Chain A
């Protein structure tokens, strides 16, 4: 709208005006630009257009105008002149472009959605083995809530989701966790989302008092609902956590490796329930194996007296062992346990495995801990107990059997493991059944647990569960000692059966123990501690230490709690390793010493211990890959690589004791797809936003809108006119006809139509209302209306495209270089020829550009290198359009009525849906102001302001300044607005010249003497009159300042006096030359001296 860049150019001429001072002024308002602004600017939260935006906006602005008691006259656009129609057509083109672009984006969005679902399904498949387990385990969950409340419960959480900027649209659907979409979501996101939901829910319970039912009767229902919701959320969270854990363990490791061995088929064939239980049992066993492996490692270390052994020396051995171990680990960790018992540990392989299993195990444990899923709770204790029992066994064994073991290791591994694989698989099946039993047992325990859990608040819940774990662990320790005895005897046989038995024992023990723990929930840990101390060995004490650690950590917030649990458990394992190490190293007979050492050093050294193990891991996994290359597909390789990656990351995690294990654990197989999904989501978001924006831009001002606006104006009793053509032109004419005192518009076209007082930024709350006066623009910028039109021709406006590559500043420079003949100012009835004269300058410019090489004005030439001028460039039509707009010229006065309040109420209710109260709130102060029949006058009404046009030069850029200067010659006084008019200056200059010049060099004395004679003549004439008279003489000459400003006059007077004094001094100095140079300079103000010097040249 308007002339491109004109506002920016003349910005310095704007003067901030308090709105209060506009009281009672009649101001024309160009409403067309408003409607455009409002339709496009007003948007709802999502960036889509608001209904009735134009009316709400108009209403608010009317209220503002009326509140300040401004008398507005609204001017609507009539038709469009032909010239504008062309540009309008272009604009319409753009709009349709926008609209079509919006359509296009819509299509893209749908495409993206399709893509996303496709990827989602892909993802779903990949996760399927694990995923399938989840719902099934869920089925096991006795406490799963009935379907009914789910939807209601999640509708609220959905709304909460919306606030999540990151996840908005997709999450909306996903929160319905039964839906495929939710399942297909990246697990991490899911998890984050749920966590956030949980957090917000907590907060909401305090924050959202509004949601409380109004009837007290409903309160219990309300509470119940909240409880249900929370439970649902919790469940969902648990599920995802499980999934995440599974991803860490089963997805990556199990899946691939099982596939290799063909065991996956088994899993599939197995009843779903078993699969789940299988998983857990496997973990169970893994943990055993792990610890066993650790033990083995310890032994190894003891034997080799270093940790390095593991990595390098056993490389070859590893390969074999790895194969086996993989199979073992992945298929059945039992195998390893068996192997362990049989072989008394494969060192390197096992160590590698241990670390892996550690990770998985920890993840599993953390999971289970975190979710306090009762099913898993059940499994945990056996894990831990058995693990610990093994550790203890082996630590004890160490002393006895180390040597033997070391010797046997390698051979045994290879030989023993392979044939037993099949056996082991069978055994696995057996175990599964056992574990099923176990589950049943556990579930009974769980029931009790759950009952308690449900009753307690979520925080307490977790802490308690944690506590329970701890107590369980402790009790397990007790059990361990028993087991230890059992297994010692069994170890002699070193058969699988023994292991199974032990497991059975363990299970039975655990279950019994668990029962105890459930009962003993409230029993303090310390008592247990005592028991342990009495019963258990040093290692168990170590365990206890860790347990106590756990205790302390359990007080921390929930999330970190569980994570810490994972860490501490890891610590446990490694601590054990270390203790054995310490044992081995010290080989001290005194257990106490060992204990102390371990206590002191565990934590520090655990880390040390972990690192080599991890490096081992990595090495082993890589070698594993090599071995399995033949069998494995590309996919599997990838997964293994990913496993390696994961190991590495885990090693880092462990090393740094990273606390956020769960969320940060990479989802390896699905990672890329997930990133794709997120990318797509982001893209979708962007597209949606863009669509909203384009929709808004694409909206057009319809006839209907104009009608509605006029209706509203009528209700307010505000006069409006529909201009024959352009509203801006009409506004300018209204002002020229003295019907209005100015125009409120942001359209710079008004200047071209001859507006003289324009208020800009009237409704921009961020900016001050700026008052622009034509006078000021003309004086500061040398831009008359004609020149503004020419400027518009160059830069482009509503009527002309302009010259591409020419901005306002360049245009100014062009205008300065090619001035038009200003002799004839445009008269009212200007003729075509006159316009042509105006354009003459630009014609010249065109010639100059077409001529190409010219040496003059090189800098301008450079800027216009790429300028191409159309044939009709200096369009006279455009000039004519600006100077002869089609306007209504009747000078009929406007009248204002009072707002019709009752009608306004109805209107507001119908159009905006406002209640009477809301309307009153807005309209009351306005009405009150309007009813004041007295007007506060301002000082300006009485005291005329001096038109002090400060130089705006300091606000202009150099180029603008230069261009204005160049335009200057036509109106020299206008350039130097603040300076004094010439006659006075001439005199002053001569005087000040006298004052300043003589100082510096003595060589020019004679010449100066001549000068001074002349000057002294001048001075004498001046001195003859007394200073007062000089003052009187000078003042009338300042034709610009009709009225006297005392300060200024005094200022001038004093300067003059000073000068006279200086001259006096100078005259005396003829007699005494030495004094003069010092005295002379004092009183003369420098600025004036400089000025006068420059004026000397005139």
Chain B
């Protein structure tokens, strides 16, 4: 028996918003500690890793570890049926082939439940090595979303280079080129609005804008985003979901032809 209850359905809704463009289907692995999701996009260029800790739920129960393969399109359809303030409960029997979503309005006047068929998905977990990243950039998530959106107009790929001065995002294409530089915020009034750069050595990497734009769908989950980079290693874009967990996107860089 698996049961997880969230007081606010909005969190789950936002999580789904954040992944459903990138993934069409994914396996939710549920165990005592919470819910985890790891999946690659169709072209295997990026990887999503979602963690929702058990303690972040209002109520969490997982007798046996279960993996629920879900069609994210269907799931998001169901979640759209929930009001933002509704309580949402996910339920599944052991070895069940369906999962049930129960939405309760705050005053308990309306209770709706939706059952969704589960899918049999390949269990393909990637081992993600613990990496010490040479650069870590923390910045407001809205700012990052804006940068990605703006630069994607100029080209398909975006160069992120992190130096002592700050971080530079640049793109070039048919219409010209664009550069956006962010310097480390001098005085930290509000932590959320600060740009904080921790750097051991400068890194410059190229990424596909398309995927970064997918990642920024998670902007509403967190006011801050953290980018971690090392040379010739996937970029990590992490959004911390307050009180409950995080969502991490890994994006493989584009490498100059000669390097291969």
Contact = CB atoms under 8 A, between A and B. Distances in A.
Interface string A1015-1053: 000000000000000000000000000011111101100
Given A1047-B31, A1047-B65, A1051-B65, A940 B124 contact: no
B106 to A, nearest CB: 34
In this complex, the interface size class of chain B, counting residues with CB under 8 Å from chain A, is 35 or more
B44 A935 contact: no
Interface string B123-160: 11111110000000000000000000000000001000
Interface in B149-197: 157
B45 interface: yes
B40 interface: yes
A225 interface: no
A268 B255 CA distance: 95
B125 A935 contact: no
Interface string A934-963: 111111111111101010000000000000
B33 A935 contact: no
B122 A939 contact: no
A944 B126 contact: yes
Interface in A1-58: 18, 20-21, 24
B257 A938 contact: no
B interface SS class: loop
A934 B254 contact: yes
A18 B33 CA distance: 33
Contacts of A925: none
A1047 B125 contact: yes
A934 B207 CA distance: 10
A717 interface: no
A710 to B, nearest CB: 26
Contact of B126 (A24, A945, A1048): A945
B127 A938 contact: no
A941 B33 contact: no
A934 B257 contact: yes
A305 interface: no
A866 interface: no
Nearest to B125: A1045
Given A18-B44, A1047-B29, A24 B65 contact: no
A989 to B, nearest CB: 20
A938 B234 CA distance: 9
A939 B40 contact: yes
Contacts of B124: 945-946, 948
Contacts of A940: 44, 126
B127 A1054 contact: no
Contacts of A948: 123-125
Contacts of B233: 942
Nearest to B41: A939
B115 to A, nearest CB: 25
In this complex, the interface size class of chain A, counting residues with CB under 8 Å from chain B, is 20 to 34
A1085 B252 contact: no
Contact of B256 (A21, A934, A1085): A934
B129 A936 contact: no
Given A943-B128, A950-B123, A937 B45 contact: yes
Contacts of A21: 43-44
Contacts of B128: 943
Contacts of A946: 124-127
A20 B44 CA distance: 8
B47 interface: yes
Nearest to A942: B234
B253 interface: yes
Given A18-B43, A938-B252, A940-B44, A1051 B31 contact: yes
Contacts of B64: 1085
Given A1047-B125, A1050-B65, A1054-B65, A939 B44 contact: yes
A933 interface: yes
B68 to A, nearest CB: 13
B252 A937 contact: yes
Contacts of B40: 939
A939 B29 contact: no
A138 B252 CA distance: 82
A940 B44 CA distance: 7
B93 interface: no
Interface string A1064-1089: 00000000000000000000010000
Given A18-B42, A944-B126, A937 B253 contact: yes
A939 B206 contact: no
B46 A939 contact: yes
B203 interface: no
A1098 to B, nearest CB: 26
A939 B31 contact: no
B250 interface: yes
A942 B45 CA distance: 10
A1050 B32 CA distance: 9
B28 to A, nearest CB: 11
Contacts of A1047: 29, 31, 36, 65, 125
B137 to A, nearest CB: 20
Nearest to A19: B43
A25 B124 CA distance: 22
A387 to B, nearest CB: 73
A933 B42 CA distance: 23
Given A943-B126, A950-B123, 9 more contacts: A18-B44, A20-B45, A934-B254, A937-B252, A938-B44, A942-B234, A946-B126, A948-B124, A1047-B31
29 contacts: A18-B42, A18-B43, A933-B257, A934-B206, A934-B255, A934-B257, A935-B256, A936-B208, A937-B253, A938-B252, A939-B234, A940-B126, A942-B233, A942-B234, A942-B250, A942-B252, A943-B126, A943-B127, A944-B127, A945-B126, A946-B126, A946-B127, A948-B123, A948-B125, A1043-B127, A1045-B125, A1046-B36, A1050-B31, A1050-B33
Interface of A: 18, 20-21, 24, 933-946, 948, 950, 1043-1048, 1050-1051, 1054, 1085
Lowest 7 A-B CB distances belong to which pairs?
A1043-B127, A937-B252, A20-B43, A943-B126, A934-B254, A938-B44, A939-B47
